[in-house]
Copies of this chain bind each other. A is one copy, B any other.
Amino acid sequence: MVEERRLAVLRAIVEDYVSTEEPVGSKALVERHGLGVSPATVRNDMAVLEEEGLIHQPHTSAGRIPTDKGYRLFVDRLGTVKPLTAAEKRAISTFLEGAVDVDDVVRRSVRLLAQLTRQVAVVQYPILSQSTVRHVEVVALAPHRLLVVLILSSGRVEQRLVELDRDLDEAQVGDLRSQVNRAVVGQRLGVAADALARLRTDEAPADGPTSEVVGVLVDALSDHSSDQRVVVGGTANLARFGDGFDTVLRPMLEALEEQVVLLRLLGEATTGGAVTVRIGAEGPVEELAGTSVVTTGYGAGADMLSALGIVGPTRMDYPGTMAAVRAVARYMSRILDENNNA
């Protein structure tokens, strides 16, 4: 029982500190939360919590603030994910339904996530390795110049310019187009790349234009760099972190510019459907101690292939944030899934 109350005290401290941004004292605690005990009792509890390294006081005779470890415990055992309101759900739904293509879905999701959490939102592009080739279009821009457009089942479109050594007439281009399409349409990306490579060695003379086009296509198919793209939104929410300029704001701004860093942040979140919370120095980017990352995987179909999440100060509303992250991931998965299969 006493242990239980102690945890209740921890929860109360976290909640109060998150909302007031100020160290919280024993008296304020008993007043604001209806724990049926006296401030003195709470003080004793706080002493224990401090010994366990869950809370910490900036200086003697100040209130307590949660440590990273305290937040950790709070998230793991105390936080009840607070469900979104019906209005919020409706907003998410209608906002995302309006998207016209994959880019748009991603853009809208970041925005949404940033608004819901009032944090900086990060969304990785949907990963394509599971998607198939829908169509390849070859257009002659000039006799010696082709535009190759690769259309994937996910709705993603890749385009590449090809310079040829020699000219090609319409018939040859048409020939090439149907040849390539026959080889790859309906295939997974990896398989398609293999099929093309075979096409190159088997059918075409090494010096022919097919070779060049096929080469470019193989590149485009194997090029996962666009999977690695990350979109960021809600940077304006950084403006709320007036304090912690050097501990939070500066490192975040720097991190947000570096796609690589962002990918590392999202990186380990793609396992399973759960929401991952990394608090303070637990993260892979040491400059971002002082911040927390809430991520989850998403993706069309059963696989969780890509990731999204938010970055914010350790002092944040975890239950609310986790709920929002999870919700956006689910809606996004659903939308992508529909586009993919329908």
Interface residues of A (CB under 8 A from B): 100-101, 134-135, 137, 139, 141-142, 145, 147, 149, 151, 153, 155, 157, 159-161, 233-236, 238-239, 242, 245, 249-250, 253-254, 256-257, 339, 342
Contact = CB atoms under 8 A, between A and B. Distances in A.
A239 B249 CA distance: 7
Nearest to A240: B250
A257 B242 contact: no
A134 B242 CA distance: 51
A125 to B, nearest CB: 12
Given A257-B234, A257-B236, A155 B161 contact: yes
Contacts of A236: 253-254, 256-257
Contact of A147 (B134, B139, B145, B159): B134
Nearest to A114: B257
Q: How many copies does the complex hold?
A: 2
Give the 10 A-B CB pairs with smallest separation, nearest first. Answer: A239-B250, A236-B257, A236-B253, A135-B139, A236-B254, A239-B253, A137-B137, A157-B157, A157-B159, A101-B159
Contact of A257 (B160, B161, B235): B235
B238 A145 contact: no
A105 to B, nearest CB: 12
A137 B149 contact: yes
A256 B242 contact: no
14 contacts: A100-B160, A101-B160, A101-B161, A134-B139, A135-B137, A137-B151, A139-B151, A147-B155, A149-B149, A233-B257, A236-B254, A239-B249, A239-B254, A242-B245
Nearest to A250: B239
Contact of A141 (B101, B134, B234, B245): B134
A145 B339 CA distance: 10
Contacts of A339: 161
A335 to B, nearest CB: 12
A251 B259 CA distance: 25
A218 to B, nearest CB: 15
Given A149-B151, A151-B159, 12 more contacts: A100-B161, A135-B137, A137-B137, A149-B157, A157-B157, A234-B257, A235-B235, A235-B253, A236-B256, A238-B253, A242-B245, A245-B245
